[in-house]
Copies of this chain bind each other. A is one copy, B any other.
Amino acid sequence: MAKISALSGFPEWLPAGRIVEQHVIDTFRRIAELHGFGGIETRAVEPMGELLRKGEIDKEVYLLRRLHAEDADDEGADPSRRLGLHFDLTVPLARYVLEHQNDLAFPLRRYQIQKVWRGERPQDGRFREFYQADLDVVAQDTLPGHVEAEVAIVMAEILEALPIPAFTIHANNRRLSEGFFRAIGLEDTAAVLRSLDKLAKIGPEAVATLLRDEAGATDEQAGACLEFAGIRTPDGSFAEGVRALLERHAGSGAGTAGAPEATVEVEEGITALDDVVRRVNAVVPGVCVADLSIARGLDYYTGTVFETFVEGHESLGSICSGGRYDRLAADNRHTYPGVGLSIGLSRLVSRIIGADLAHPTRPVPTCVLVTVGSEETRERSEQVATALRRRGIPAEIAPSAAKLGKQITHASRRRIPYVWLVPEVTGADADRVRDLTSGEQADADPATWSPDSDLLHARVLAGPPTP
């Protein structure tokens, strides 16, 4: 089931691995649809003008060119019209929503599972082509706060259904963070967030230096930010910690003019975060913690922000991140706020396969191998297989009328659980079925026989395969 990667950064799976990946995709889809999210797909390419709107990630984009284009500027002289492969599913969603706002019903509940491409250095263990799986609610003009918990609940249920160890969704709130920074006198809240976002990577001392150098913090302010980021509670008790900290540091900074508004902002953030943690845990107990270190580098979040970590696999980083953004897209008439979460699906599947967190019960869909007596009687075997398939039982026919032992080996090598023994092979009067696990054999009629329901389809089970 090993990963194939002869082309560095472009993962591929053997058939057994693909069953695991398909299982993850199917699980995502099933649970998203249970919650009324509909699937969409966008084209893989966008004009460079769309892709580079958020300037910072431009280095990672793959540009397209037709091999034998009439001239180099085949796609138009305007470089913003040239086509590139999308590097996430958020930029295409924003474009799709604006383009089709008149044909979509808002709030739009959509999921999207597609490959994305990034020109990352593969030596960093990153993929250049990988699946992302996104879940967003996008509203027209106004988006009620309760959606922030709802999207997290759907994602918690999806992750809970996947073959991964215990995971925790860490939630924070932008208004809470920014209000707190302002209340202690730090006005460049974006710089503070960017510094705190590096905490796990570079540690508190280096972050304190950054806060002083980049966000203009005093030693006391930097200390307060680090204390703030240290607050992590499984319930609403983070509020007490924040209020106590605020009391100690509120008058400490330079600018206290904004303090009353900032304090209101902090309290609004507390209420919103408390609501998210409580409501997510009400549906999936113990899965969500308030973690005030969660900063998320990107500017565009405006409410709750999320990151998700898997126990024992912290090296993966956050496997599922996102939050609320008040301005996914906008035109002269409307603004589109939303809440979204995204799983780096290929990275997660790669770990599931690589660490033997799950395995398929067999590497093929086939439940029954129908034997063949001779090429002259192959059509009789085909009738058996057709009868089984009409009843939903995956069946294939032995590729050649080899000796019975060889036909059985064909099945057992693929872990196909049953072999159908036609009279032409056995010399018996009736059809028989052999259960390859138990070795037992019994008369059977293709119009009525059924396999053990656990064996009907290839399934994905947690843990390593049994040898």
Contacts and interface: CB of A to CB of B under 8 A. Distances in A.
B96 A12 contact: yes
Contact of A146 (B117, B375, B414): B375
Nearest to A360: B38
A394 interface: yes
Given A7-B47, A14-B100, A389 B35 contact: yes
B64 A68 contact: no
A235 interface: no
Contacts of A107: 399
A215 B144 CA distance: 72
Given A61-B67, A375-B146, A396-B109, A99 B6 contact: yes
B40 A18 contact: yes
Contacts of A139: 399
Interface centre among A59, A62, A110 (most CB of B within 10 A): A62
A364 B394 contact: no
Interface in A54-111: 58-69, 83-85, 96, 99-100, 103-105, 107, 109-110
A171 interface: no
B66 A63 contact: yes
A45 B68 CA distance: 17
A44 interface: yes
A397 B45 CA distance: 34
Contacts of A105: 363-364, 413-414
Interface stretch (A194-202, A218-226, A287-295, A378-386): A378-386
Interface string A370-382: 0000010011001
Contact of A43 (B7, B67, B392, B457): B7
Contacts of A22: 39
A294 to B, nearest CB: 24
Contacts of A260: none
A375 B42 CA distance: 34
A227 interface: no
Contact of A364 (B47, B109, B129, B393): B109
A34 B96 contact: no
A392 B33 CA distance: 10
A85 B100 contact: no
Nearest to A369: B36
Contacts of A21: 41
Interface in A392-444: 392-397, 399-400, 413-414
Given A84-B67, A365-B38, A43 B10 contact: yes
Contact of A279 (B38, B69, B283, B382): B382
Nearest to A142: B400
A166 interface: no
Interface of A: 2, 4, 6-7, 10-15, 18-19, 21-22, 33-45, 47-48, 58-69, 83-85, 96, 99-100, 103-105, 107, 109-110, 115, 117, 119, 129, 139, 144, 146-147, 150, 279, 282-283, 363-366, 375, 378-379, 382, 386, 389, 392-397, 399-400, 413-414, 457
30 contacts: A4-B100, A6-B99, A7-B45, A7-B83, A10-B45, A12-B43, A12-B96, A15-B40, A15-B104, A18-B41, A19-B38, A21-B41, A34-B395, A35-B395, A36-B364, A36-B365, A36-B395, A43-B129, A44-B44, A44-B117, A59-B66, A60-B67, A62-B66, A67-B84, A68-B119, A69-B119, A105-B363, A144-B400, A282-B382, A283-B386
Q: Top 3 nearest A-B pairs by Cβ distance?
A: A36-B396, A36-B366, A66-B119
Given A12-B42, A105-B363, A144-B400, 5 more contacts: A6-B99, A11-B43, A12-B96, A35-B389, A146-B378
